Structure 1
């Protein structure tokens, strides 16, 4: 009798789930793809394997979406994920669905309610506060920070001329030094200390997050806390949070000391600080409490370091493989800056049109964030005619959208920076390396300025060459290069560590 009751409960539950998901199943049948789906786990097994295997799976799904007119789909456990590689549909999803993927709340242990992954009611007011801090005026003041830290990197690379080097660790250290100085207002000197506890904890945390993100059965906290790796994960979050807490405390004490000084000294010091305040100091002025400060600083550091470093590193590799592009860029730098060692000035940035085009073209082919996910909360119809239903995950496949020949032409797979000098995008959402819409990356201009500074200084000082095909004289023939091998490790990275060889320019 008991077994019959259990069987009846199971049958009723199964019928209820089938009925509740009837609209999802209808949508799944419409956007079915050719990738094998297994019972219960759906397409999850395709993401098991190495970091390169994960990226290959993501690319195959993206190409499938392109083949099917920009729309595909598949089940990930009990969640239907629709994959979008059409900018018209993507724009509508970004406009209507502001809630990010549920699985991303695994970052709450470290980032709490930081604006990047926060729920919409928390994200909206915080975004309004953060956005003005990244104004063009502030970025111009931070240009000196980018220049000084990139010159520090150049000094270290000068000793490595004539040998293959992995640019990743040098550009990552540069990015972290720059972001920590602009956000926290302190000089970390990561470039002279590759074993800095904050850097090591940062790298370990990232690896553990992506490992968990790719294993959806580890999403529930009660499951993850039973895993042996949780103790290591908790240690990394504690190191990162404690470091930022101490910086906030030191800033609070400094501000308190200023208030205790006499008025004349206070005004003088305040005027000095106003010339270039860090993001932390600006948020303290606004009245953020310590928890909010910690969350926002960690978001800025984690997001700002990786995206800028990956974008600049990919750009350097592409320049090493396309010498005619590098030569043209060098000519532009000489025209704008002259044959001198003077640092970049704010007025130089708008004149470096080809440099900007080179970076944009690199980000088109190798966007650091290859896909973003938005959760559908209400029913609506896309321009393509597909109807999205609640509790579906809409995957905006940035990598695939950037290579969709319908919007980029038959040479969509080719590296051709000149396409960004033509300014003839068929749709503004066809290019979104920093996401799109009201919830795009608030630090897009910051990242571009940082990347332009470091690439300009690299090309002024060095000739970038491929590590294995180094030539001694003449110019490299324009030959079709193979796509770079990439992997997915919280962001998209180069499998070979962004390896290049450098020669000092005479």
Structure 2
């Protein structure tokens, strides 16, 4: 009798559940489906492989959407996702669907409610302060940090010159971590001197664990995850990240309060002074801009600083890696970059200063083309809280997740031409770069929740790349040279499978070459 009652309750729940979602089913049925879709499981069977397999599946769905005006549905058992590559539809989505999808909860377990992953109510309140902290007059002062760390990167690469191919990732990821750590928290982490620093290892491990949870349904329930072997590592690494950041914040808070009290009473009310914040970190700025003692709590500060550190480290490192790989694959483009660098720096070893960045036009085009083909965040997932009619005529059902495929929109021949897959930095020449729609190129998202650190990231990448390319020629293997594509995997950020295998050759000073020629 008890079993019958349980069975009846289960059937009743199932019928009620189905009826409550009938509108979603109806609207979803009008959206084109991938050929891989199966009854009940949808496309879940296609997302059970390795990070490489998952990335390839999402790429294929993006390409398939081109046939249907840039939209495709994807049932993940009971979860509905709509893959979108149409830039006109994407503009409406990114302006109106501001809530992050529930999958972001796994990232929030690391960073908390930092601006990138926070619910709208928290994000909206904090966004105003973050925008002030990323003002150009502030971020340009960090070029000195990027330049210092870029010179360290060059020295660390020196022993690799002429030794054949090697894994570039440990070098560029420690450069970006040291740069972000110093600019975000005001502390020198020195990970370029020790790539096994606990903070970097913990962050790398956490991102890998998060990616596993996002794409493997059995790892998603919190109650079940606690019984999995990954849970112990998850909690250990989270503690490392939180404890380190908390200690930095505690120290900075004490420094801020001591400095504030040491001012004349007439100046104590003035918490923010641009001139006084040169080379100050974002943590200093957030404490001051939010109201000092009455502003952000230590937990809120940790959320923002840790989000910036996690988001900024791997994205910039991956972008630098792709750029160097592409320059190795296209030696003629690399020589143009070197000539531009020589025109600015000559044979000198002087560090880059912020005025130099404006002169590096070709390098910037190269970086942007690299970001177009290999955006470090190839997919953004938003949540539709209500039925949303798109310009294309399709309707996003309430409760569905929206997969914004940056990978797809950046490679759509409709907007980038028949050679959309080709690496061509001259696409970004002023006379050629005329996009039909702003969402056709958005490596750092678009709309109200776009990345406020876009210019900061560009400055960091250009500074480090210029330091490397002035001294070394990047070379790839013969196989890589004749293969225009870079095999990638999805590990929250999109990374190269080979971890950016390159070789370096030392560049001889041009004055020396000229003298040898005369002799």
In the TM superposition, 1:22-37 aligns within 5 A as: 22-37=22-37
Q: Is 2:256–2:284's contact at 8 Å kept on the other side of the alignment?
A: no
Tell me if the contact between 2:82 and 2:403 (Cα under 8 Å) persists in the aligned partners.
yes
Match of 1:384? 392
Aligned CA distance change for structure 1 residues 390 and 272 (closer, same or farther; 3 Å): closer
Unaligned residue ranges in structure 2 (runs of 5+): 509-519
Contact kept, 8 Å, 2:380 with 2:405, in 1: the verdict is yes
Q: CA deviation at 1:220?
A: 2.3
CA distance in 2, matches of 1:463, 1:75: 47
- Which residue matches 2:51? 51
- Cα separation, partners in 2 of 1:190 and 1:273, compared to 1, 3 Å: farther
Choose 78-87 or 331-340, whichever is displaced more.
331-340
State the TM-score, normalized to the length of structure 2.
Answer: 0.91
* 2:53 match: secondary structure: helix
Contact 1:28 1:74 in 2 (8 A): no
> Paired residue for 1:280?
283
Kept after mapping to 1: 8 A contact 2:85/2:406: yes
* Corresponding residue number in structure 2 for 1:61: 61
SS in 2 for 1:348: helix
The more displaced of 322-331 and 337-346 is 337-346
- Post-superposition offset of 1:110: 2.1
Alignment of 1:76-475 (within 5 A): 76-162=76-162, 163-259=164-260, 274-285=277-288, 286=290, 287=292, 288-421=296-429, 422-468=432-478
What is aligned with 1:492? 494
Q: Partner of 2:425: helix, strand, or coil?
A: coil
Contact 2:176 2:316 in 1 (8 A): yes
How does the TM-score come out when normalised to structure 1? Answer: 0.93
Cα distance in structure 2, aligned partners of 1:350 and 1:429: 25
Other structure's SS at 1:157 match: helix
Q: Deviations over 1:137-159 (max 9, x none)?
A: 11211000000001101011111
Provide the rounded CA distance (Å) in 2 between the counterparts of 1:104 and 1:142.
Answer: 30
SS at match of 2:355: coil
Q: Is contact 1:376–1:392 with CA below 8 Å preserved after alignment?
A: yes
- Comparing 372-381 and 480-489, the one that deviates more: 480-489
Residue 351 (structure 1) shift: 2.3
Counterparts of 1:271 and 1:129, CA distance in 2: 14
Q: Describe the SS at the equivalent of 1:395.
A: strand
Separation in structure 1 between the aligned mates of residue 111 and residue 88 of structure 2, nearest angstrom:
32
Paired residues, number:
495
- Quote the Cα distance in structure 2 between the aligned partners of 1:367 and 1:487: 12
The gaps in structure 1 that reach 5 residues or longer are: 471-478
SS in 1 for 2:192: helix
Residues 253-307 of structure 1: CA distance to partner in whole angstroms, max 9, x if unpaired? 323443565869x99xx99953221111111223321111111110010001010
Residues 32 and 74 of structure 1 are in contact (CA less than 8 Å); yes or no, is this contact kept in structure 2? no
Cα 1:432–1:271 change in 2 (3 A) is: closer
1:473 paired residue number:
none
Cα distance between partner residues in 2 of 1:140 and 1:271: 12
